[in-house]
Chain A
Amino acid sequence: MQTHQYDVVIVGAGGAGMRAALEASKDARTAVISKLYPTRSHTGAAQGGMAAALANVEEDNWEWHTFDTVKGGDYLVDQDAAEILAKEAIESVLDLEKMGLPFNRTPEGKIDQRRFGGHTRDHGQSAVRRACYAADRTGHMILQTLYQNCVKQEVEFYNEFYVLDLITDHDLAAEDVPEGVEVNATGVVAYDLATGEIHVFQAKAIIFATGGAGKIFKTTSNAHTLTGDGMALAYRRGLPLEDMEFFQFHPTGLAGLGILLSEAARGEGGILRNSDGERFMERYAPTIKDLAPRDIVARSMANEVREGRGAGPNKDYVLLDLTHLEPAHIDAKLPDITEFARTYLGIEPYTEPVPVYPTAHYAMGGVPTNVQGEVLRNGKDVVKGLYAAGEVACVSVHGSNRLGTNSLLDINVFGKRAGRSAAAYAKIAEFRDLPVDPTVAVVSQLDEMRNRPEGDRVSDVRRALQETMDANAQVFRTGESLNQALADIRELRKRYENVSVQDKGRLFNTDLLEAIELGFLLDIAEVTVVAAINRKESRGGHYREDFPDRDDKNYMLHTMAYRRPTAAADQAEGHVKGYFDHVEEFDGYKVVLGSKPVTQTRYEPMERKY
């Protein structure tokens, strides 16, 4: 075992983690721990752009952007946070440009901007050009630029280290910690993939920037490595997860594969058509049509397929038509995604429409934070020394449905804020004592998994999980389908107790780590489904066929899900009888739901029409 001490430890080296590192490392001794090489992070797969009301190509302002974000999130957005997002967007884009990011340019040499779903001028009048972009590899350029600047600033990285435990001085999942008692994060336990050695990192401040959890679904745009590690680690310590029922299904995944084709394809003029060749979005969103927000487009597509207007031999997808665009325009603006269609489906987008179907894409929910990036342990108290930013976190700027180009923005704005907050806190804070043996839980978990005799295969349990989530908790949900998913998850949890790995070695044992990651996936699927069962309304990415309307009277609240000991009280903070009072018992613990108010500033909830 090795022990390290840093002022600030950042877990995750995607956009949010590296943006935080660039801030924190200016003022504090900082280490970044990442399970991948930084440039492998999934920020690099983001394509279309980063929103900011620069008004470089047409009139725009950050207030319109705030409104679009709030409306796009079906009013479950915390409006103070959305305002910060939209305001600081401008500086964030300029920061990146100064760091060297090669944005596409206007003829005058300014940063070029293009249209994207849900971004409008003057509160929904028409689509506006707000997305700053670098071809269709904006995320790649952000990830590269941030890494380049980390190299310049000599940020210290621990690559291919898996963080497997969060150390806190109170474990809220195991003990009763009364309100008002201070809870501190004191370090993390990590596993060095190359050697199998355990490392303890003691830190004054810890930032979680571990990304999403798309691998709970089968059809997903997410990387194999997006297994919800940070969310699950916080959850296991009894910290709440917020709004986990809201998962975004991106409309245009390559059919059958889930590989993402950017919304930029529609921003540049691409049109969705059904088997009759009809531009069906005209029926669902008459004003902005194909550029409606993702939840609406995904549902419309799934509905076309369900009503028998799907294309292809099995009528199970719709078509993304780019054939009316000039090949030169496609090459200039959408080179990568058109190559995906060629490589993986053998389709030539110049002349043939591309088969697409919704793919699990983004977790709107996550570890709750305030606008400084501090992690909350309930509706109001923070965990001292713990921060989160990016997809792992829930600020909440995305509410129940994120707008395209707002995630690359989120990681930059709130990554920067979390980095600053953590470094400032590290300046005034002291190192806190760690438990006598902080690694005992991780070591025994790894040893047990490694030494378990023959049992279920990790891949069989994972596939079963992903299949039930796709079948029962995807674009359309019902109480019945969600309860089926929950029953399946309970069963799979039992099977997980018996999974075994074949690789018993110490060196680069990815077999072992996949088994550990499956544990994270089960946790995240569990909390996603429990929260979805409880929310008996339809809002943003969460659509309940048995409750098709939005219900502001009873559900205009954030869900907060807590893992608690079986003996703990059945009421969490924000308990609302009949609406947010759900408790679900599992073996050895229970999930207790509560709520948190939505911050509203200037926008009254309205019906969401486009």
Chain B
Amino acid sequence: MTATLEAPETKAGAIPSFEVTLRVRRYNPESEHGEESFWDEYTVTAHGTDRVLDALHKIKWEHDGSLTFRRSCAHGVCGSDAMRINGRNRLACKTLLKDVNPDKPITVEPIKGLPVVKDLVVDMEPFFASYREIMPFLITNGNEPTKERIQSPEDRARFDDTTKCILCAACTSSCPVFWTDGQYFGPAAIVNAHRFIFDSRDEGAQQRLEILNDKEGVWRCRTTFNCTEACPRGIEVTKAIQEVKRAMITRAF
């Protein structure tokens, strides 16, 4: 009854298939490789609209069940499957194979700067710890209004961009400062601080700015724009960090 079932690939308008090779960086302390990471290459058949996640599933489901990665929603909103694809951080479910030149082997590695647990899975705890540190929740004083707080569309638009964050860690794990100094809060935590600092309803900006004024805070940012390039949600991460820096100097937010 579905479009998929009623459209065998031989019919007119069918999407052509092609072979694609994935070179995956693997790590499995339970395997004979022990603590050493290693590369595996897999060639699978893919279709025009297939994404890197489809190819990984094909490998896992048809070739090697031990290949391990996180995924859930498969359309770029849950943030589970950030990985390094051809050297760039992206979501596997949002990266079409045809857009990363399937004529050559596509390299897939775990995101950098966080401890690898197994294959493409990293330990996300340090990442979430930084997020929690910036107090990512609305802070208000005084009595709550009976109805909603009033906020003009302009005030709402002021922090719209940073509400899009899905905490996938693509930005933080693309940041060279974070690679060399795991103590740095990283772009994602600052983005989430920005989301509240510039929310007209929030009264905790002072506290957050103090936290981010720390030696591991915003001043470590070297404005390399890797984070902005990596963000699968199109957030202008570097700009948000700049705005937080400026707010810290001018105390205007």
Give A contacts to B, CB under 8 Å.
36-37, 39-42, 44-45, 93-94, 97-100, 102-111, 134-135, 137, 140-141, 144, 148-149, 151-152, 194, 218-219, 223-225, 255-257, 259-260, 302, 305, 312-314, 316-317, 336, 340, 343-345, 357-358, 457-459, 467, 470-472, 474-476, 501-503, 505-511
Contact = CB atoms under 8 A, between A and B. Distances in A.
A111 B65 contact: no
Contact of A314 (B12, B153, B163, B166): B12
B45 interface: no
A501 B152 contact: no
Given A223-B74, A256-B3, A459-B61, A313 B11 contact: yes
Nearest to A150: B137
Interface string B175-218: 00000000000000000000010010110000000000000000
Contacts of B167: 37, 39
Given A40-B79, A109-B152, A224-B71, A503 B66 contact: yes
Contact of B72 (A36, A99, A144): A36
B80 interface: yes
A457 B65 CA distance: 9
A511 B144 contact: no
Nearest to A257: B49
Contacts of B202: 100
A305 B153 CA distance: 42
B interface bracket (residues with beta carbon within 8 Å of A) = 35 or more
A45 B73 contact: yes
B188 to A, nearest CB: 11
A63 B223 CA distance: 54
Which of B31, B72, B94 lies at the interface centre, i.e. has the most chain A CB atoms within 10 A of its CB? Answer: B72
Given A344-B51, A510-B68, 12 more contacts: A39-B78, A39-B79, A40-B72, A45-B73, A109-B155, A110-B148, A219-B2, A223-B73, A316-B6, A505-B28, A505-B66, A511-B65
Contacts of B30: 505-507
Contacts of B136: 148, 151
A149 B2 contact: no
Contacts of B73: 40, 42, 44-45, 223-224
B201 A100 contact: yes
A602 to B, nearest CB: 28
A256 B7 contact: yes
B160 interface: yes
B225 to A, nearest CB: 21
B64 A140 contact: no
B137 A151 contact: yes
Nearest to A151: B132
Given A470-B4, A471-B5, A507-B118, A105 B77 contact: no
B44 interface: no
Interface string B137-171: 11000001001111111011001100111110000
